[in-house]
Amino acid sequence: MPLYQMTGKDGKVYRIEGPAGLPRETVMAEILKRAPQAGKPALATPDAALAAPTAVAPTQAAPEEEGVAQPGFFEQLGSSLKGGLIGLANIPQQAVAQAFAGPVNVAAQEREIFDAIDSGKYKPKFKSKEELKEAQMTAAMVAGQAGAFGMGIPVAAGPDTELAIDEAAFRYYNANPRERAVMRGGIDKITEKAAPRFERALQRVEEAEKEIAPLRAKTTQVSDIDSWASFKNYLGGVIGETAAQLPVTMASSAVAGPMGGFTAGTTISYGAETMNRIAFAREKYKDLPLEKQATEIAKYLRDSGDVVAVSAAVQGALDLFGPVGTVLSRKITSELGKEGTRDVLEAAAKRSFIESVKQEGKAAAKRFPRETGEEALTGGAQEITSILGERAIGEQTGPLLSDENLKRVFEASVAEGIGGGLVGTPTTFTTGVIGSRSETARAKRTLKQEAEEGRLKEFDAMRGQLADAFEAAVAKYKSEGTS
């Protein structure tokens, strides 16, 4: 396992082991947790010179020491943007890992139960077919009610999964040797197909995370800003990460309305929550053999799947505020106002590109404080949702309003506010200009169509008048006996 080192304020070098790619802040926090004296300057002593840093071990470079130059604003913005895009591209693999976690874990659980039954150490939960059937009917009823209320969020674990395991245990317990062999063969087939796919997806997810880790800002929390360089690094990181994600949700909202924005926001949040669960499980089971690690991580993902899904859905709904809300408002207004009055159409048709830019620029300047505030509140609320999810699955214990949790909410609010304001407002400005030009083009088409329809009506009227005059002339000639 990689070895990290850092020189404390007391001049001593502290080392800890940890997973590859740990952020500098995480290493600092862990060192201070184990050795609080590292954060306290030491009095000068004759032995002070002995506190010089030593070489770090082999496979992992040490975190950057105090005073080392940090990437500037534009360099960090580009790195964070790249990392954010890699994260978005990695979401399908996270979904694959989550999807195959269930079959892998269920197969492992059933194999353990079957072994226990064979050795006489396990008795099934249900004693008769009637009890099993009643449980199945109850589960079907609950599932039907959930669907009726629109609770269609896919989950990786739930009562139905546990019931399936209990049903398999009942069937195996009452099966003859030949039937038991068939059931074990079925488990082996599932494992042969699902386990390699799960492990491949898990490997790709972790490889992407290793690729992203060095691209993250060196200063990731506003409370760590202690110089102009760290401020630029922090700002570039926040804007870069936001620029990779927020426009996706905004574009989805512009195209597909609220459901598009909700789906995009939920998908992004689902990927982040799944990555957090994988990282936690990998650390938790790091001392197990690799094949056992995969099984335990699969179980953890399956057991936490419902919490991840609900947490992601809540965070996706919260994403509909701020700049995304502005885009949705404009889309709804545009849909309602397609059939405008003639004065509105003529004004829109005459609007030049410069006028569109000026109009949207003024509107964006007015929206900036509101969107920044809404994004800050949204970021804090999303972090609270994530904290509640961690507590629900036991990743976090202790006081809910701990200093660490309050700091997390504060940091998330600041980052979202800055990112949402500096990325979201320019994006709404750009989409506003594009929308304004679309309205101008549509107004011109409508007026042109009306003009053509007017000319057609005039032509029809003239044709009717000519026909009437012709018929009158014919009637006159007939009455005069001429032709």
**CB atoms inside a 10 Å sphere around CB 405:** 18
Q: Answer yes or no: are the C-beta atoms of 19 and 286 closer than 8 Å.
A: yes
pLDDT of residue 1: 52
Determine the Cα–Cα distance for residues 12 and 37; give it in Å rounded to an integer: 10
Q: In the Cβ-directed half-sphere of 400, how many Cα atoms lie within 13 Å? A: 9
Of residues 350 and 403, the one with the higher pLDDT is: 403
Per-residue confidence (pLDDT) for residue 44, from 0 to 100: 41
Tokens 């790091």 sit on residue: 286
Exposed/middle/buried for residue 357 (C-beta within 10 Å: 0-12, 13-18, 19+): middle
Give dist(CA 372, CA 424) in Å, integer: 8
Hey, what are 258's tokens? 């609220």
Per-residue pLDDT at 4: 67
Of 303, 302, 305, 283, nearest to 293 by C-alpha is 283
The pLDDT of residue 149 is: 39
Query: What is the distance of C-alpha 419 from the center of its chain?
Result: 15
Q: Hey, what are 341's tokens?
A: 């009055």
Residues 363, 74: Cα–Cα separation, whole Å: 27
pLDDT category of residue 325 using cuts at 50, 70 and 90: low
8 Å CB contact between 79 and 238: no
Q: What is the pLDDT of residues 178-218, one digit of tens each?
A: 999 999 998 888 888 888 888 888 888 888 888 888 888 88
First to last CA, the chain: 112
Residue 59: pLDDT above 60?
no
Helix (H, G, I), strand (E, B) or coil at 5: strand
Mean pLDDT, the chain, integer: 74
Kindly tell me if the per-residue pLDDT of 335 is higher than 60. no
CA–chain centroid gap for 482, Å, is 88
Residue range 294-309: average pLDDT? 72
